[in-house]
Amino acid sequence: MNKFHHQFKLKEKGDSYRVYFLESEETGSIEARLDFFEGAIRVAFVRKEVPLFPTYTVSPDGKCERTGRDKLSTAGFKTVIPTVTGDDDFGPGVKNDPKDPLCGIICETDFKTPYGTLRLEYLNFKISVFDSKGNLLFKDRDYCSYNFAHELGRGSTHYITREPDEKIYGLGDKAGNVNKNGMSFVIGANDAMGFDARSTDPLYKQLPFYICENSAGSYGIYYDTYSNGEMTFGKELNNYYESYKGARFNEENLVYYIIFGTVPEIVNRFSRMCGPMFFPPLWSLKYCGSTMTYTDAPDADAQLRGFIKNCEKYGFKPGGFYLSSGYTMIGDKRYVFHWDKSRIPSPTDLSVYFIEHGVEFLPNVKPAFLISHPLYDEIAANGWFLKYKDGSTAIFPFWGGFGSYLDFTNPGAYDFWRKCVKTNLVDLGYRNIWNDNNEYDVLDEDVYACGFGTPVKAADIRPLFSFLMTMASLEAQNKDVRPFAVSRCGIGGLNRIAATWTGDNNTSFEDFRYNHKMAMTMSLSGLYNFGQDIGGFAGHKPGRELLLRWIQYGLFTPRFTLHSWNGVGEDPTMPWMYEDLIPYVKELFDLREQLIPYLYNEMFRSVNTYDPIIFPVFLKHPDYDREADCFYFGNSILACPVFDEGATEVTVDLPETDTGWYCNDKLFTGTVTLPCPAEGLPVWFVKAGSIIPYAVDDGLEFRIYALKEGTIHFEYIDDDGKSPLNTTDLPLIKIDVKCDSYGIHVKSNVKTTGPSGKSIAFTLTDPLRRKLMAE
């Protein structure tokens, strides 16, 4: 028996792909495939006896049905024809010394592409990639990189050589620093309420995508799987192998992508692989309230209406309210789709009240049904739950007792959920859905899902259920307005259908700082529309300083939501929780309101360019500190939050530009220290040469941050913020500015009124005090 020597042979070749095969008593029949795309190479190992489950993540054309997409499809990709040299037609006839399993004829084929040269060794299918200068960028471990004959146990593996000082970014919402080098992670998703943002693992997202930055350049790796696993980036050592990083998954098949380019190019290319981000409605960017306290209260209806009254009393302008699950209670348990009429006597009256005040509801829904749920027997009788191997309904612990998870890979269950969402929520005025507690805590390998006709172990596709749940919810929502969905659990591709957040975070200054690092990590992982529970969700209520600092930070994130489940007897986290701080909180909320047009436009930019909305400074300035506190809020604003308790000022190393940075109408360069009290506005800078649209009264103010000399071009999407977007006739405001010694010359396709009917005004920030001149 020889388990360490696997000689692949060429089976089929096309212009942009190769197919190889391996067949032996030890390995069974394995087919290997290489596909060459613009900026990426796909590598696949498929065992003949193991069905290849479809992908829901990779969708470059943005199209994905409920049944998924063939994992080896090339639709939507731009293929590349490599220049091939070497033993491309190598066949049988390998000479092998059975006493040395690593001995054999090692034939090589080089595939030269515009992004580098891939060298394939047929022995053990070892891959190396060299850049255009011949530097080694990527290399599989010398042996036992892959687990062809299960030399490394069950499942699939991939081990790659590593440099001691390389940098690792990505992996979704992983805790800790932005640079993950030297760490190990579980690939899985848990309901990690009250997590430590510095160390808890796993959290809510399951996204095996990372970027490696080494001495030769950068590359990204995405493993197209939904099975649990683990990844190590130098924490694991084994003296019998060269220094390595690696991945191990329960799934027997292995499909992965090597993505090339600089770090920002890799982020962009992975996002393009997953398809475009959905364009959210404008209201979702406004302050959205939430708390467990109101809906759990016996007088929930009055508490919720009181939220609107308090917002009006103190001058806050919410756009939405996340309706926690207390509205579904029977006794002390929560039953999705059940309305507790003792708490909310008329769900329709309540939704009408909120909509009349300009506030949208996002009701919480959960995919598990307790055994005592009124609908449980009906669902079980139809076979819509996950099942044991013998066909009986699988049962798991869930919030409030034991229950069963809906099987969203069963067409009947999928349609049942969609009908329930429409009938029990959407038709009653609850038009946007908050998909929660959807991590599917299913580890039992004897539990199966329908798999749309191809049964699959549920444990191998856990996070996919959350994605399908969100898809089904979204399909039930109204299409005459722009729908909005949120999901806590997520996979790559979640951007296409929903927003998300960092989960049930803990309330502390340390968690606040590491929530920011999580945010930067998510932005490097292709998750763009997200935020945090500002002030913290779990634990005691935030102190005065922490509340103010977190709001100062949160107003620079896409999701601006205060949500909490504070200690017993403590008030929920609301803008008015400290009465004497209301003026300071109001000032911060007003700044958020003013910046919403800018953020909305940046969301539109992200939809079209596939670039992140908030992101670490080093994406634009490669030499910048990877762990910096400051970050980009869109392409033009540098946000400089304070994470240290008791601090009264902030020091910022401004990124190098040719133009400088504006703060409070002054132009700065270099290292700057500015006062930043908790009871005040945050420090933030605008890059010179930018145009920032602000909300003023019922109109828009376009503030021009002047250059000493040069031109500025700017486009703004001026729609109604709620209708489905008509991409063939975009309502754009186009502005061109010329800065010279004579003045600031402005030319626009609109004068005083934009396409949406809003009034338009132009203002100027210019230390040279030049005149603003309209053309």
With CA atoms as reference, report the closest residue to 156 among 217, 226, 102, 204.
226
Of 43-57, 307-321, 362-376, 562-576, minimum mean pLDDT range: 562-576
Tens of pLDDT along 354-370? 999 999 999 999 999 99
615-646 exposure pattern, b = at least 16 Cβ within 10 A, e = fewer: bbbbbebeebebebbbbbbbbbbbbbbbbeee
Tens of pLDDT along 615-657? 999 999 999 999 999 999 999 999 999 999 999 999 999 999 9
- % of the chain beyond a pLDDT of 70: 98
Q: What is the mean pLDDT of residues 200-226?
A: 98
* Residue 202 preceded by cis peptide, ω within 30: yes
pLDDT of residue 106: 61
- Judge if pTM exceeds 0.75: yes
Is residue 96 very low, low, confident or very high in pLDDT (cuts 50, 70, 90)? Answer: very low
| SS3 state of residue 225 | coil
Is residue 1 very low, low, confident or very high in pLDDT (cuts 50, 70, 90)? Answer: low
Tens of pLDDT along 19-62? 999 999 999 999 999 999 999 999 999 999 999 999 999 999 99
Q: Kindly give the residue spans of alpha helices, DSSP state H, lying in 250-357.
A: 263-274, 292-296, 300-314, 347-356
pLDDT of residue 82: 97
| SS3 state of residue 428 | helix
Tens of pLDDT along 67-80? 999 999 999 999 99
Q: What is the mean pLDDT of residues 486-501?
A: 97
Residue entry with tokens 């209301």 = 582
pLDDT of residue 105: 58
Tens of pLDDT along 689-742? 999 999 999 899 999 999 999 999 999 999 999 998 877 789 999 999 999 999
Q: What is the mean pLDDT of residues 404-412?
A: 98
Is residue 89 very low, low, confident or very high in pLDDT (cuts 50, 70, 90)? Answer: low
With CA atoms as reference, report the closest residue to 530 among 272, 274, 207, 172.
172
End-to-end CA distance of the chain: 82
Strand order from edge to edge, sheet including 83-86 = 83-86, 108-113, 116-121, 126-130, 136-139
Q: What is the mean pLDDT of residues 498-505?
A: 97
Residues 6+ apart with CB under 8 A from 690: 635, 636, 705, 712, 714
Q: What is the mean pLDDT of residues 138-150?
A: 95
Tens of pLDDT along 607-617? 999 999 999 99
Residue type, 474: L
Q: Is the pLDDT of residue 104 over 60?
A: no
Rounded Cα distance between 585 and 571, Å, is 17
φ, ψ dihedrals at 206, nearest 5°: -125, 95
Is residue 568 very low, low, confident or very high in pLDDT (cuts 50, 70, 90)? Answer: confident
